[in-house]
Structure 1
Amino acid sequence: MILQIDLNTLLVLFRETSIIVAIYGIYVLSLNLEVGYMGLPQFGKVMFLALGAIAVGGIATKVALLIYSHVISSQLNISPLSDLDTYCSAYQYSAIGIINNIFSNSPLSGLAFFFMSITLAAILGGVFGVLMAGPALRLREDYLGILLLVSAETVRVISTYTPQVACGVFGAVIPDPFAWLREGRQWGYLAVTLIFLLLSFVILERLGNSPFGRALRAIRDAEVAARVFGKDIVKFRVRVLATASALAGVAGALLAFYNNFVLMGQFVPLETFKGWAMLIIGGTGNNIGALLGVVVYYVIDRVLSLYKEGIRQIINVDPIFFQYIIFGIIIILVLMFRPQGIISERPVKTLKRHILAKLRAEA
């Protein structure tokens, strides 16, 4: 059964998939820095995605409510920050609608709110990454993985059932900093996410090919030998966790702006293992492979979603569980026949390409 899709629907599908791929591309690139380069058992990665969302829905949005409180009070006759329970349950959409109207007429205000939110997300993620570096220095890999997993769940549960964080179970409606783009908002946001993805890729690629990146690989492959040669393992782990966590926080903020809504209950451990699945499929220790894994994952995900009714008629199974089965089979096949992923880890570039070619020719 061939699904008929008109051009406009296909464009929307391409746009929405590309935005998600760009956001999760940043997320998986940060995971690759920890897992592929450093070899850390990062099983609590979703925590930093959630912290990025908290920075937007729980901090930046409250700042916006404080700044525009006089306008909101004059139009709705309420003070949102004085009674958060009532605001979260009854007045969110009205209050945020007023802020969106302001942003639609003032692009600079919207952009200021956006960059403030991204900065807060990076800082919050980075700070928690440094805090988690303490246990990373003292625990064995298996215990560290368990601790990170439990920490992520703790953050999710506390934030979900604490309205003061991001409106708890109600979820937090967040202002749209790109409301001034109007009909072109989604295409504009695609450009924004692609720019952040490109910046993240360039930074991590240069980092991976630097002496710092070579040291990370040395620590991953032979920690004792790296320590003997004078590498400070503590400093490297702290820097890696801080950098990767800050990037994951940015990804969480971008995801929140994509949804224009933050529901902390969505940041379940499955989000961590989705990132691992993408990384395993694409290849660890390779930024291009990591991005390719994200693309492959979401292309398959979208195809299965489009044909879910046909799948249901053929095998009579819930399409969601069928997706889990398919990805489980793919991961097993990758681990059996190509454990290095689609693109294997490449040697570190220490010289320019033309210099390497010249040296090979001379040899």
Structure 2
Amino acid sequence: MDAYLAAIAIIALIYVLLSLGLTLQYGLTGLINFGHVGFFAIGAYTSALLALKGVPLILTFPAAAVLAGLSAWPIGLVSLRLRDDYFAIVTLGFSEVVRIVITSEKWLTNGVQGVPGIPRLFEGLQGFAAQAATLAVILAVTIVAVWMILRIAKSPFGRLIEAIRDNEEAVKALGKDPASFKIQVLIVGAAIAGVAGAFYAHYITYIVPDQFIPLVTFYVWMAVIMGGVGRVSGAVVGAAILMVFLEGSRFLRDIVPWISEVDMASVRIGVVGLLLILFVMFRPQGLMGDYTKR
């Protein structure tokens, strides 16, 4: 039981990191990023492939963050001058391009066969001890990420990106260039997603392209919406609620045993989607949002 709870906590913290990146991009700046999973995948494959080449993990994680962040830079240059809806489409297309490249470039990523044998964070430990150590490390990184985004939100830079979110034209009238600030935010958020991907790869120890589908981005959006858009605490609480929904829905099989295992996957997604609809209807500002507003 302890091992199961530790595993859930680790995956939940990975989703917290993803939610923090999206909170910075969408919650604070208003960037509608539907391709968040693309940066997640880049971080996972970067760290995994470098580790398999013998690079120490203390270097593979920064490399994952840097490469994921750098991959966001050209996207920002090309698309951030577009309207929000076009930017959302571009980011969604980017995530699919990343997945297709991972699938096609077999010489590097082993294609649909995936990358097995990825080193764990603590190879010298066994069983629950390894899980506990991994949990402690990812928890520490998550706390640092929360602190960093809170500092950003309370800084002059944070107030400026919030102004861009609320009224971009007014920011332009003050002589500021919103595009450059959006690019910076996109890079930082992508780097956080890259770190989350590195943790995921070294915890699961086996990654394939099908693990990085748009559904992952949808789950992160759910966490941000349920927790409260623009709230750092909302990213944390929303990710926790998401894991409760995802894991709780696994037990639907006990309630409706006549549904096959294959169909149950679709039922689970439907149940999670229904819960999101209920949240939007009855608590649109999220659990950590302003209770005086609807």
| TM-score of the two chains, using structure 1 as the length reference | 0.76
The amino acid of 1:124's aligned partner reads L
Number of the residue aligned with 1:312: 256
Number of the residue aligned with 1:169: 112
CA distance in 2, matches of 1:60, 1:228: 48
Number of the residue aligned with 2:170: 225
CA distance in 1, matches of 2:119, 2:7: 20
CA distance in 2, matches of 1:137, 1:42: 11
| 1:123 corresponds to which of 66, 82, 88 | 66
Cα RMSD, aligned residues only: 1.8
| 2:193 corresponds to which of 242, 245, 248 | 248
Secondary structure of 1:180's partner? Answer: coil
The amino acid of 1:160's aligned partner reads T
The amino acid of 1:40's aligned partner reads L
The amino acid of 2:196's aligned partner reads A
Does the aligned pair in 1 maintain the 2:79–2:90 contact within 8 Å?
no
Residue 177 of structure 1: how far off its partner (Å): 3.9
Number of the residue aligned with 2:274: 329
Tell me the number of residue pairs that the alignment of Structure 1 and Structure 2 aligns. 288
CA distance in 2, matches of 1:322, 1:281: 20
The amino acid of 1:130's aligned partner reads W
CA distance in 1, matches of 2:227, 2:32: 18
Number of the residue aligned with 1:22: 13
Secondary structure of 1:188's partner? Answer: helix
The amino acid of 1:152's aligned partner reads S
Dislocated runs of 4+, deviation >6 Å: 314-317
Number of the residue aligned with 1:145: 88
Residue 61 of structure 1: how far off its partner (Å): 2.0
CA distance in 2, matches of 1:331, 1:242: 28
Number of the residue aligned with 1:238: 183
1:174-185 map, 5 Å:
174-183=118-127, 184-185=129-130
CA distance in 2, matches of 1:319, 1:55: 33
Does the aligned pair in 1 maintain the 2:72–2:190 contact within 8 Å?
yes
Does the aligned pair in 2 maintain the 1:48–1:249 contact within 8 Å?
yes
CA distance in 2, matches of 1:291, 1:210: 21
| 2:205 corresponds to which of 256, 260, 280 | 260
The answer to whether residue 55 in structure 2 is matched with residue 58 in structure 1 is no
Residue 188 of structure 1: how far off its partner (Å): 0.6
The percentage of aligned residue pairs carrying the same residue is 35
The amino acid of 1:178's aligned partner reads F
Number of the residue aligned with 2:226: 281
Instruction: Mark the runs of 5 or more structure 2 residues left unpaired by the alignment.
Output: none
| TM-score of the two chains, using structure 2 as the length reference | 0.93
Please identify, of 43-52 and 162-171, the stretch whose mean Cα deviation from structure 2 is larger.
162-171
Residue 57 of structure 1: how far off its partner (Å): 2.5
| 1:35 corresponds to which of 2, 7, 26 | 26
Residue 314 of structure 1: how far off its partner (Å): 6.8
Q: Select the structure of larger CA radius of gyration.
A: 1
